Protein backbone atom coordinates (compact mmCIF):
# COMPACT_ATOMS: atom_id res chain seq x y z
CA UNK A 1 0.00 0.00 0.00
CA UNK A 2 1.46 3.33 -1.12
CA UNK A 3 0.68 6.22 1.23
CA UNK A 4 1.79 8.83 -1.30
CA UNK A 5 -1.18 10.87 -2.48
CA UNK A 6 -1.51 11.26 -6.23
CA UNK A 7 -2.08 14.59 -7.95
CA UNK A 8 -5.73 13.57 -8.27
CA UNK A 9 -5.97 12.94 -4.55
CA UNK A 10 -4.43 16.32 -3.80
CA UNK A 11 -7.01 17.94 -6.05
CA UNK A 12 -9.76 16.37 -3.94
CA UNK A 13 -8.22 17.74 -0.76
CA UNK A 14 -7.74 21.18 -2.32
CA UNK A 15 -11.33 21.15 -3.55
CA UNK A 16 -12.57 20.32 -0.04
CA UNK A 17 -10.55 23.23 1.33
CA UNK A 18 -12.13 25.61 -1.20
CA UNK A 19 -15.62 24.32 -0.49
CA UNK A 20 -15.04 24.79 3.23
CA UNK A 21 -13.92 28.37 2.66
CA UNK A 22 -17.11 29.20 0.79
CA UNK A 23 -19.37 27.17 3.05
CA UNK A 24 -17.65 27.47 6.39
CA UNK A 25 -18.49 26.34 9.89
CA UNK A 26 -20.80 29.31 10.44
CA UNK A 27 -22.75 28.38 7.32
CA UNK A 28 -22.98 24.77 8.52
CA UNK A 29 -24.11 25.81 11.99
CA UNK A 30 -26.72 28.18 10.60
CA UNK A 31 -28.13 25.35 8.49
CA UNK A 32 -28.15 23.02 11.50
CA UNK A 33 -29.86 25.55 13.77
CA UNK A 34 -32.48 26.29 11.13
CA UNK A 35 -32.86 22.54 10.38
CA UNK A 36 -32.07 23.39 6.78
CA UNK A 37 -30.17 21.14 4.40
CA UNK A 38 -26.98 22.83 3.06
CA UNK A 39 -28.30 22.78 -0.49
CA UNK A 40 -25.93 25.46 -1.78
CA UNK A 41 -22.95 23.44 -0.63
CA UNK A 42 -24.46 20.27 -2.09
CA UNK A 43 -25.02 21.99 -5.44
CA UNK A 44 -21.43 23.24 -5.49
CA UNK A 45 -20.13 19.74 -4.84
CA UNK A 46 -22.35 18.48 -7.63
CA UNK A 47 -21.12 21.12 -10.07
CA UNK A 48 -17.53 20.14 -9.26
CA UNK A 49 -18.30 16.47 -9.90
CA UNK A 50 -17.72 15.23 -6.37
CA UNK A 51 -21.22 13.88 -5.72
CA UNK A 52 -20.54 11.22 -8.32
CA UNK A 53 -17.18 10.30 -6.86
CA UNK A 54 -18.15 6.63 -6.30
CA UNK A 55 -20.42 6.40 -9.34
CA UNK A 56 -19.08 4.52 -12.40
CA UNK A 57 -18.06 6.72 -15.33
CA UNK A 58 -20.58 4.93 -17.58
CA UNK A 59 -23.36 6.55 -15.56
CA UNK A 60 -21.92 10.03 -15.33
CA UNK A 61 -19.75 9.60 -12.26
CA UNK A 62 -16.06 10.04 -11.58
CA UNK A 63 -15.45 6.30 -11.35
CA UNK A 64 -13.34 6.67 -8.24
CA UNK A 65 -13.49 4.60 -5.08
CA UNK A 66 -14.00 4.67 -1.34
CA UNK A 67 -10.46 5.94 -0.83
CA UNK A 68 -11.28 9.16 -2.66
CA UNK A 69 -14.63 9.53 -0.90
CA UNK A 70 -12.90 9.02 2.45
CA UNK A 71 -10.37 11.73 1.58
CA UNK A 72 -13.16 14.16 0.74
CA UNK A 73 -15.25 13.41 3.83
CA UNK A 74 -12.27 13.53 6.18
CA UNK A 75 -11.15 16.89 4.85
CA UNK A 76 -14.60 18.46 5.02
CA UNK A 77 -14.97 17.16 8.57
CA UNK A 78 -11.59 18.63 9.46
CA UNK A 79 -13.12 22.00 8.63
CA UNK A 80 -16.23 21.21 10.68
CA UNK A 81 -18.56 20.94 7.67
CA UNK A 82 -18.94 17.20 7.04
CA UNK A 83 -22.15 15.97 5.41
CA UNK A 84 -24.00 13.00 6.86
CA UNK A 85 -25.59 12.54 3.45
CA UNK A 86 -22.26 11.29 2.12
CA UNK A 87 -22.78 8.22 4.32
CA UNK A 88 -26.28 7.31 3.13
CA UNK A 89 -26.12 8.55 -0.47
CA UNK A 90 -22.53 8.11 -1.68
CA UNK A 91 -21.55 5.48 0.90
CA UNK A 92 -24.59 3.16 0.87
CA UNK A 93 -27.15 3.80 -1.88
CA UNK A 94 -24.84 4.58 -4.78
CA UNK A 95 -22.46 1.60 -4.31
CA UNK A 96 -25.41 -0.75 -3.69
CA UNK A 97 -27.20 0.29 -6.88
CA UNK A 98 -23.92 0.28 -8.84
CA UNK A 99 -23.06 -3.27 -7.79
CA UNK A 100 -26.44 -4.97 -7.55
CA UNK A 101 -28.76 -2.91 -9.73
CA UNK A 102 -29.85 -3.93 -13.22
CA UNK A 103 -28.66 -1.95 -16.22
CA UNK A 104 -32.05 -0.25 -16.41
CA UNK A 105 -31.91 0.68 -12.73
CA UNK A 106 -28.42 2.13 -13.04
CA UNK A 107 -29.44 4.22 -16.05
CA UNK A 108 -32.57 5.36 -14.24
CA UNK A 109 -31.05 6.45 -10.93
CA UNK A 110 -27.29 6.88 -10.98
CA UNK A 111 -26.74 9.78 -13.45
CA UNK A 112 -29.09 12.12 -11.56
CA UNK A 113 -27.55 11.09 -8.24
CA UNK A 114 -24.04 11.72 -9.60
CA UNK A 115 -25.06 15.23 -10.68
CA UNK A 116 -26.61 15.94 -7.30
CA UNK A 117 -30.05 16.40 -8.80
CA UNK A 118 -31.55 13.59 -6.72
CA UNK A 119 -30.70 12.02 -3.37
CA UNK A 120 -31.28 8.56 -1.94
CA UNK A 121 -31.31 7.88 1.80
CA UNK A 122 -31.37 4.54 3.63
CA UNK A 123 -34.04 2.96 5.85
CA UNK A 124 -33.26 -0.10 7.93
CA UNK A 125 -33.68 0.62 11.68
CA UNK A 126 -36.99 -0.30 13.32
CA UNK A 127 -38.42 0.29 16.80
CA UNK A 128 -38.77 -3.38 17.74
CA UNK A 129 -35.66 -4.72 16.02
CA UNK A 130 -32.87 -2.22 16.64
CA UNK A 131 -29.54 -3.86 15.88
CA UNK A 132 -31.22 -7.22 15.22
CA UNK A 133 -31.97 -6.54 11.54
CA UNK A 134 -33.14 -10.13 11.03
CA UNK A 135 -36.27 -9.37 13.04
CA UNK A 136 -37.43 -6.29 11.19
CA UNK A 137 -41.20 -6.27 10.73
CA UNK A 138 -41.71 -4.01 7.72
CA UNK A 139 -43.17 -6.40 5.18
CA UNK A 140 -43.47 -6.32 1.40
CA UNK A 141 -46.11 -8.55 -0.18
CA UNK A 142 -46.29 -9.19 -3.94
CA UNK A 143 -49.40 -7.96 -5.68
CA UNK A 144 -49.43 -7.99 -9.47
CA UNK A 145 -46.47 -6.00 -10.79
CA UNK A 146 -45.83 -4.42 -7.39
CA UNK A 147 -44.88 -5.13 -3.83
CA UNK A 148 -47.04 -3.52 -1.16
CA UNK A 149 -45.03 -2.25 1.82
CA UNK A 150 -46.37 -1.88 5.36
CA UNK A 151 -44.39 -1.07 8.48
CA UNK A 152 -42.32 1.64 10.06
CA UNK A 153 -38.73 2.81 10.50
CA UNK A 154 -36.99 5.29 12.75
CA UNK A 155 -33.73 7.25 12.89
CA UNK A 156 -33.85 7.64 9.12
CA UNK A 157 -31.43 10.39 8.15
CA UNK A 158 -32.55 13.15 5.81
CA UNK A 159 -35.56 11.52 4.21
CA UNK A 160 -37.18 14.95 4.02
CA UNK A 161 -34.51 15.86 1.44
CA UNK A 162 -34.49 12.55 -0.41
CA UNK A 163 -36.13 11.69 -3.72
CA UNK A 164 -35.69 7.98 -3.08
CA UNK A 165 -35.11 5.77 -0.08
CA UNK A 166 -33.36 2.39 -0.12
CA UNK A 167 -35.63 0.32 2.11
CA UNK A 168 -34.75 -2.95 3.82
CA UNK A 169 -37.92 -4.99 4.27
CA UNK A 170 -38.99 -8.57 4.79
CA UNK A 171 -40.72 -10.35 1.95
CA UNK A 172 -40.95 -13.43 4.13
CA UNK A 173 -41.77 -13.04 7.80
CA UNK A 174 -39.09 -14.09 10.27
CA UNK A 175 -41.45 -16.75 11.62
CA UNK A 176 -41.59 -18.29 8.14
CA UNK A 177 -37.83 -18.64 7.65
CA UNK A 178 -36.82 -19.53 11.19
CA UNK A 179 -33.57 -19.00 13.09
CA UNK A 180 -31.57 -21.31 10.85
CA UNK A 181 -32.42 -19.30 7.72
CA UNK A 182 -32.67 -15.83 9.22
CA UNK A 183 -30.57 -14.36 6.40
CA UNK A 184 -33.34 -15.27 3.97
CA UNK A 185 -36.55 -13.41 3.26
CA UNK A 186 -35.15 -9.86 3.22
CA UNK A 187 -35.38 -7.68 0.11
CA UNK A 188 -34.05 -4.24 -0.87
CA UNK A 189 -36.35 -1.73 -2.55
CA UNK A 190 -35.77 1.72 -3.98
CA UNK A 191 -38.91 3.63 -3.02
CA UNK A 192 -39.84 7.08 -4.27
CA UNK A 193 -40.39 9.32 -1.26
CA UNK A 194 -43.49 10.88 -2.82
CA UNK A 195 -45.18 7.47 -3.07
CA UNK A 196 -48.78 7.44 -1.76
CA UNK A 197 -48.87 5.98 1.73
CA UNK A 198 -45.27 6.90 2.61
CA UNK A 199 -45.15 9.51 5.36
CA UNK A 200 -42.54 10.72 7.82
CA UNK A 201 -42.18 13.04 10.78
CA UNK A 202 -39.13 14.49 12.55
CA UNK A 203 -37.71 12.95 15.69
CA UNK A 204 -36.85 15.20 18.62
CA UNK A 205 -33.14 14.41 18.69
CA UNK A 206 -30.87 17.01 20.31
CA UNK A 207 -28.12 16.58 17.73
CA UNK A 208 -26.82 19.56 15.83
CA UNK A 209 -26.74 18.43 12.22
CA UNK A 210 -28.05 19.50 8.85
CA UNK A 211 -29.98 16.38 7.87
CA UNK A 212 -32.29 15.50 10.74
CA UNK A 213 -33.68 12.14 11.89
CA UNK A 214 -37.18 10.89 11.10
CA UNK A 215 -39.87 8.34 11.83
CA UNK A 216 -41.00 6.79 8.54
CA UNK A 217 -44.30 4.99 7.95
CA UNK A 218 -45.34 2.70 5.09
CA UNK A 219 -49.09 2.29 4.72
CA UNK A 220 -49.86 0.14 1.68
CA UNK A 221 -47.05 1.73 -0.30
CA UNK A 222 -46.92 0.24 -3.78
CA UNK A 223 -43.41 -0.33 -5.11
CA UNK A 224 -42.87 -1.68 -8.64
CA UNK A 225 -41.09 -5.03 -8.77
CA UNK A 226 -38.70 -3.25 -11.13
CA UNK A 227 -37.46 -1.33 -8.07
CA UNK A 228 -36.09 -4.40 -6.28
CA UNK A 229 -32.29 -4.22 -5.92
CA UNK A 230 -30.72 -7.64 -6.32
CA UNK A 231 -32.78 -10.77 -5.71
CA UNK A 232 -36.04 -11.04 -3.84
CA UNK A 233 -35.48 -12.66 -0.44
CA UNK A 234 -31.69 -12.35 -0.88
CA UNK A 235 -31.38 -8.64 -0.16
CA UNK A 236 -29.36 -9.02 3.01
CA UNK A 237 -26.38 -10.22 1.00
CA UNK A 238 -26.59 -7.13 -1.21
CA UNK A 239 -26.97 -4.91 1.85
CA UNK A 240 -23.84 -6.33 3.46
CA UNK A 241 -21.84 -4.99 0.52
CA UNK A 242 -23.00 -1.50 1.50
CA UNK A 243 -22.07 -1.78 5.16
CA UNK A 244 -18.30 -1.70 4.71
CA UNK A 245 -18.47 1.53 2.66
CA UNK A 246 -20.75 2.98 5.33
CA UNK A 247 -18.23 2.21 8.06
CA UNK A 248 -15.37 3.66 5.99
CA UNK A 249 -17.16 6.96 5.37
CA UNK A 250 -18.22 7.18 9.02
CA UNK A 251 -14.63 6.52 10.11
CA UNK A 252 -13.29 9.20 7.75
CA UNK A 253 -15.78 11.74 9.06
CA UNK A 254 -14.97 10.84 12.66
CA UNK A 255 -11.23 11.30 12.09
CA UNK A 256 -11.80 14.69 10.48
CA UNK A 257 -14.19 15.80 13.22
CA UNK A 258 -11.69 14.71 15.86
CA UNK A 259 -8.96 16.73 14.18
CA UNK A 260 -11.24 19.75 14.02
CA UNK A 261 -12.02 19.56 17.76
CA UNK A 262 -8.39 18.90 18.65
CA UNK A 263 -7.20 21.89 16.63
CA UNK A 264 -9.59 24.17 18.54
CA UNK A 265 -8.46 22.66 21.83
CA UNK A 266 -4.76 23.16 21.03
CA UNK A 267 -5.31 26.75 19.91
CA UNK A 268 -7.13 27.58 23.13
CA UNK A 269 -4.59 25.72 25.30
CA UNK A 270 -1.76 27.75 23.77
CA UNK A 271 -3.57 31.06 24.28
CA UNK A 272 -5.15 30.64 27.70
CA UNK A 273 -2.71 31.63 30.49
CA UNK A 274 -3.26 30.46 34.08
CA UNK A 275 -0.56 30.47 36.78
CA UNK A 276 1.68 32.51 34.48
CA UNK A 277 1.92 30.01 31.66
CA UNK A 278 -0.26 28.61 28.83
CA UNK A 279 -2.47 25.84 30.14
CA UNK A 280 -1.25 23.62 27.28
CA UNK A 281 2.01 23.29 29.20
CA UNK A 282 0.27 21.36 31.95
CA UNK A 283 0.46 17.63 31.36
CA UNK A 284 -3.01 17.07 32.77
CA UNK A 285 -4.34 18.85 29.68
CA UNK A 286 -1.54 18.18 27.21
CA UNK A 287 -1.39 14.41 27.52
CA UNK A 288 -5.08 13.67 26.82
CA UNK A 289 -4.84 15.71 23.63
CA UNK A 290 -1.58 14.02 22.65
CA UNK A 291 -3.23 10.66 23.29
CA UNK A 292 -6.17 11.64 21.08
CA UNK A 293 -3.82 12.84 18.34
CA UNK A 294 -2.01 9.50 18.29
CA UNK A 295 -5.28 7.58 18.16
CA UNK A 296 -6.60 9.76 15.34
CA UNK A 297 -3.51 9.10 13.24
CA UNK A 298 -3.81 5.35 13.86
CA UNK A 299 -7.51 5.41 13.02
CA UNK A 300 -6.83 7.29 9.79
CA UNK A 301 -4.28 4.68 8.72
CA UNK A 302 -6.81 1.90 9.30
CA UNK A 303 -9.48 3.87 7.45
CA UNK A 304 -7.18 4.22 4.46
CA UNK A 305 -6.41 0.51 4.57
CA UNK A 306 -10.10 -0.38 4.63
CA UNK A 307 -10.82 1.91 1.67
CA UNK A 308 -7.81 0.54 -0.22
CA UNK A 309 -8.92 -3.05 0.33
CA UNK A 310 -12.47 -2.27 -0.71
CA UNK A 311 -11.35 -0.57 -3.92
CA UNK A 312 -9.16 -3.58 -4.79
CA UNK A 313 -12.16 -5.87 -4.48
CA UNK A 314 -10.85 -7.50 -1.31
CA UNK A 315 -12.93 -8.29 1.76
CA UNK A 316 -12.61 -5.09 3.79
CA UNK A 317 -14.88 -6.22 6.62
CA UNK A 318 -12.18 -6.55 9.26
CA UNK A 319 -10.41 -3.30 8.42
CA UNK A 320 -13.67 -1.36 8.01
CA UNK A 321 -15.01 -2.41 11.39
CA UNK A 322 -11.72 -1.71 13.15
CA UNK A 323 -11.51 1.65 11.38
CA UNK A 324 -15.01 2.61 12.48
CA UNK A 325 -14.31 1.55 16.07
CA UNK A 326 -10.92 3.26 16.28
CA UNK A 327 -12.05 6.45 14.57
CA UNK A 328 -15.14 7.00 16.69
CA UNK A 329 -13.26 6.23 19.92
CA UNK A 330 -10.44 8.59 18.92
CA UNK A 331 -12.88 11.30 17.86
CA UNK A 332 -14.64 11.09 21.21
CA UNK A 333 -11.36 11.38 23.11
CA UNK A 334 -10.37 14.36 20.98
CA UNK A 335 -13.68 16.14 21.55
CA UNK A 336 -13.66 15.32 25.26
CA UNK A 337 -10.12 16.59 25.82
CA UNK A 338 -10.78 19.72 23.75
CA UNK A 339 -13.92 20.44 25.73
CA UNK A 340 -12.07 19.94 29.02
CA UNK A 341 -9.39 22.43 27.98
CA UNK A 342 -12.03 25.09 27.45
CA UNK A 343 -13.40 24.63 30.95
CA UNK A 344 -16.71 26.39 31.52
CA UNK A 345 -16.29 28.27 28.26
CA UNK A 346 -16.65 24.98 26.44
CA UNK A 347 -20.34 25.02 27.29
CA UNK A 348 -20.95 28.42 25.73
CA UNK A 349 -22.43 28.67 22.26
CA UNK A 350 -19.73 31.06 21.08
CA UNK A 351 -16.98 28.50 21.66
CA UNK A 352 -18.81 25.87 19.55
CA UNK A 353 -17.33 22.94 21.44
CA UNK A 354 -20.34 21.13 22.87
CA UNK A 355 -21.80 20.27 19.46
CA UNK A 356 -18.65 18.41 18.47
CA UNK A 357 -18.65 16.53 21.78
CA UNK A 358 -22.25 15.36 21.33
CA UNK A 359 -21.59 14.44 17.71
CA UNK A 360 -18.51 12.45 18.69
CA UNK A 361 -20.46 10.65 21.40
CA UNK A 362 -23.03 9.61 18.80
CA UNK A 363 -20.29 7.68 17.00
CA UNK A 364 -20.24 5.18 19.86
CA UNK A 365 -23.91 4.41 19.14
CA UNK A 366 -24.54 4.81 15.42
CA UNK A 367 -24.60 3.74 12.70
CA UNK A 368 -23.41 0.58 14.46
CA UNK A 369 -22.75 0.64 18.18
CA UNK A 370 -19.33 -0.02 19.63
CA UNK A 371 -20.50 -3.22 21.33
CA UNK A 372 -21.58 -4.84 18.07
CA UNK A 373 -18.34 -3.73 16.45
CA UNK A 374 -16.38 -5.37 19.25
CA UNK A 375 -18.55 -8.47 18.82
CA UNK A 376 -17.49 -8.58 15.17
CA UNK A 377 -13.83 -8.24 16.10
CA UNK A 378 -14.11 -10.89 18.80
CA UNK A 379 -15.88 -13.39 16.56
CA UNK A 380 -14.43 -12.79 13.09
CA UNK A 381 -10.90 -11.64 13.92
CA UNK A 382 -10.11 -13.36 17.23
CA UNK A 383 -12.14 -16.46 16.46
CA UNK A 384 -14.06 -16.43 19.72
CA UNK A 385 -17.60 -17.81 20.22
CA UNK A 386 -20.51 -15.72 19.02
CA UNK A 387 -21.84 -13.72 21.94
CA UNK A 388 -25.40 -12.97 20.81
User: pLDDT tens digits for the chain (388 residues)?
Assistant: 777 889 999 999 999 999 999 999 999 999 999 989 999 999 999 999 999 999 999 999 999 999 999 999 999 999 999 999 999 999 999 999 999 999 999 999 999 999 999 999 999 999 988 788 888 999 999 999 999 999 999 999 999 999 999 999 999 988 888 777 878 999 999 999 999 999 999 999 988 889 899 999 999 999 999 999 999 999 988 888 888 999 999 999 999 999 999 999 999 999 999 999 999 999 999 999 999 999 999 999 999 999 999 999 999 999 999 999 999 999 999 999 999 999 999 999 999 999 999 999 999 998 889 999 999 999 999 999 988 7
Report the distance separating Cα 221 and Cα 65, nearest Å: 34
CATH of 121-233, one of 2.40.110.10, 3.30.70.100, 2.30.42.10, 1.10.10.10: 2.40.110.10
CATH of domain 237-381: 1.20.140.10
pLDDT of residue 128: 87
- Biggest CA–CA distance in the chain, Å, is 79
Which fold would CATH assign to domain 7-119?
A: Butyryl-Coa Dehydrogenase, subunit A; domain 1 (1.10.540)
Based on its alpha-carbon atoms, the radius of gyration of the chain, rounded to whole angstroms, reads 21
Which H/E stretch holds residue 255? helix 235-271
Pairing of strands 213-224, 198-202: antiparallel
Report the distance separating Cα 341 and Cα 288, nearest Å: 10
The answer to whether 124 touches 168, Cβ cutoff 8 Å, is yes
Find residue 234's DSSP bridge partners: 186
Report the distance separating Cα 290 and Cα 296, nearest Å: 10
Ramachandran region of residue 158, left (φ > 0), alpha (ψ -120 to 50) or beta? left
Report the distance separating Cα 181 and Cα 321, nearest Å: 25
Report the distance separating Cα 300 and Cα 309, nearest Å: 14
Mapped onto helix, strand or coil, the DSSP state of residue 139 is: strand
Query: pTM of this prediction?
Result: 0.95
Domain ranges of the chain: 7-119, 121-233, 237-381
Pairing of strands 273-274, 228-229: unpaired
For 194, other C-beta atoms within 10 Å of its C-beta total 8
For 99, other C-beta atoms within 10 Å of its C-beta total 14
Amino acid sequence: MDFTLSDEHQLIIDAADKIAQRFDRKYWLDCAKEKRFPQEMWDELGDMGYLGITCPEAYGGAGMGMFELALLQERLAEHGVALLYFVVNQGIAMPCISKHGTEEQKQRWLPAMARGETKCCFAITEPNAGTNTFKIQTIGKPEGDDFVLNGSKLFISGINQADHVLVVARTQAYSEVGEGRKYEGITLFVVDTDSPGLTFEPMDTMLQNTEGQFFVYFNNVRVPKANVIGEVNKGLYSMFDALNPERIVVAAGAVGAGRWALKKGVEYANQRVIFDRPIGAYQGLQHPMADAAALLESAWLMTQKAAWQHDRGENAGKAANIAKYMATEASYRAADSALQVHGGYGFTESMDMLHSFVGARLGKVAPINREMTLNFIGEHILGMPKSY
